[in-house]
Chain A
Amino acid sequence: DAGITQSPRYKITETGRQVTLMCHQTWSHSYMFWYRQDLGHGLRLIYYSAAADITDKGEVPDGYVVSRSKTENFPLTLESATRSQTSVYFCASTGRNSPLHFGNGTRLTVT
């Protein structure tokens, strides 16, 4: 769905660097989520947000920081990237009584 976009699609970074993954949605959905997807672990929730300036931890939040100053944007920052954070990251959004829609994903490699 063109309504939720992630950037970049691919990113290679070095251990210890800070990297930010961007997520933008045009539906004015209240809820936004960040998931990581690794082989054997399915989709695991990192952080989510119920509205602007309201965020909360998910299942695997360590090493990540989020912010939500505007409803449409929900960036995810890795403050000091580690190899264990090599993964595919999906942003998603939903409104009340609507399905969860995913972005195209960002494939992050930490060397």
Chain B
Amino acid sequence: GENVEQHPSTLSVQEGDSAVIKCTYSDSASNYFPWYKQELGKRPQLIIDIRSNVGEKKDQRIAVTLNKTAKHFSLHITETQPEDSAVYFCAAKGSGYGQNFVFGPGTRLSVLP
């Protein structure tokens, strides 16, 4: 089955700097890669996603890139702000039965003022 790895597990950046979180997946048939942000005590919420027929997608300060050959995808946050502090999860939708989403273990991002 699908396996998703995510690095780093924790990340601290100064306000205004950029943050990059990287994920790798194992199932070459996976075709959908969402990113979720989870604030303390709240539900994971989708912030951006990318499909396998696209190499890059951007939404204001957030961008995601996908390298299908290497089977990795990355989240880029520019001009970080304190409210970006949260846990971020990447996921891959596998090719198995149903709509199985496999999640990475998460990255705790801290934006320091």
Which of chain B's residues have a CB closer than 8 A to the CB of A94? Answer: 99, 101
A74 at the interface (CB under 8 A from B): no
B75 to chain A, nearest CB (A): 15
How far, in Å, is A111 (CB) from chain B's closest CB? 21
A40 to B98, CA, bound (A): 26
Chain A residues, Cβ within 8 Å of B25: none
Task: Given the known inter-chain contacts A99-B49, A100-B34, A100-B91, please indicate yes or no for A50 contacting B44, CB distance below 8 A.
Answer: no
Q: Closest residue of chain A to B104, judged by CB?
A: A42
Interface size range on B against A: 20 to 34
How many residues of A are in contact with the other chain, CB < 8 A? 22
- Whether A43 and B103, one on each chain, are in contact in the complex, defined by CB atoms closer than 8 angstroms, is yes
CB distance from B3 to the nearest CB of A (A): 11
**A-B pairs, 3 with minimum CB distance:** A42-B105, A102-B43, A43-B103
Given contacts A100-B34, A102-B43, A105-B43, 11 further A-B contacts (CB under 8 A): A33-B101, A42-B103, A43-B44, A43-B103, A45-B101, A50-B99, A56-B98, A94-B99, A99-B46, A100-B101, A103-B43
